[in-house]
Amino acid sequence: MKDRDKQVSFRVNTLKTTDEQVLNKLHEWNIEVTPTSIPHAYITGEEIRTTTLIEKGEIYLQNLSAMIPALILDPKSQENILDMCAAPGGKTTQMCALASNKAFICAVEKDKFRAERLKHNLSLLGAKNVNVLVADALGLDRNMKFNKVLLDAPCSGSGTGNERIEQAWLERHTRLQRKLLSRAIDVTKVGGIVVYSTCSVLTCENEDVVADVLSTGRVEIARIDNTYNCPTATPTIPGVLSIKRQGPYEGFFVAKLRRIK
């Protein structure tokens, strides 16, 4: 039974199958889905969590907003890419799919249990050329250098509807976000790209963090155009993407930074 108030979104895992094959199976099971403006992404108001498509790694349940950062990073064959806070692996496996398993990805996760979940999802979805590093991303050697870095930072989750946020907790996390973004820039080659994202709608976790690193002169904004027609709010920094919590979209923030020195 279709329930528009409980829509879920999923991504077709092109490392194992095609959109056509998935849609044919769903049609056989009388499951209706709606395509979106995001490549290989669909929404449905029907039960899909128990299908064999998930068990076989042919689709991955993921919010539409959470698919945007990897698309903006745009991983390419032979690029060295860092995913700084990688578990459970939704964005890591998406990057593998976008690069057809031809990029070289270092996926960092400091929690050993979450790292095991990351490894499980990498295996399930057929993601290759990924080195899982169980470590604190703040301790990454500054001499490491990547073409591109994705930092989906720990945050309040205010974009998902979490409204119970203690001020002391928020202050600790905004300090952490600044440190993580600074380290992301450290390990990015000059001319390389850093994508910073959160599932937050709070300026202190988003634009304020980006403004802090912009003030160092080490990076500049690489403008993001809303080519995926997400519902957006007006950010305080031109060129970043602020996605509103609306319909199947969670509130999300994405900034693309180019290292210039």
Question: What type of residue is 166?
Answer: E
- Identify the burial level of 50 via C-beta atoms within 10 angstroms of its C-beta, where 0-12 means exposed, 13-18 middle and 19 or more buried: exposed
Catalytic option among 155, 199, 204, 230: 199
Place of tokens 């400091």: 110
Closest CA to 246 of 198, 197, 201: 201
**Would you say 255 and 210 are in contact if contact means Cβ atoms under 8 Å apart?**
yes
**Would you say 257 and 180 are in contact if contact means Cβ atoms under 8 Å apart?**
no
**Would you say 188 and 259 are in contact if contact means Cβ atoms under 8 Å apart?**
yes
Q: For residues 76 and 62, what is the distance between their CA atoms, to the nearest angstrom?
A: 22
User: What is the maximum alpha-carbon separation in the chain?
Assistant: 56
Tell me whether strands 219-221 and 241-243 are parallel, antiparallel or unpaired: unpaired
Return the HEC string of 102-146: CCEEEEECCCHHHHHHHHHHHHHCCCCCEEEECCCHHHCCCCCCE
Angle between helices 167-186 and 207-214 (to 10 degrees): 40
Q: For residues 38 and 23, what is the distance between their CA atoms, to the nearest angstrom?
A: 16
Respond yes or no: is residue 199 known to be catalytic: yes
Catalytic residues: 199
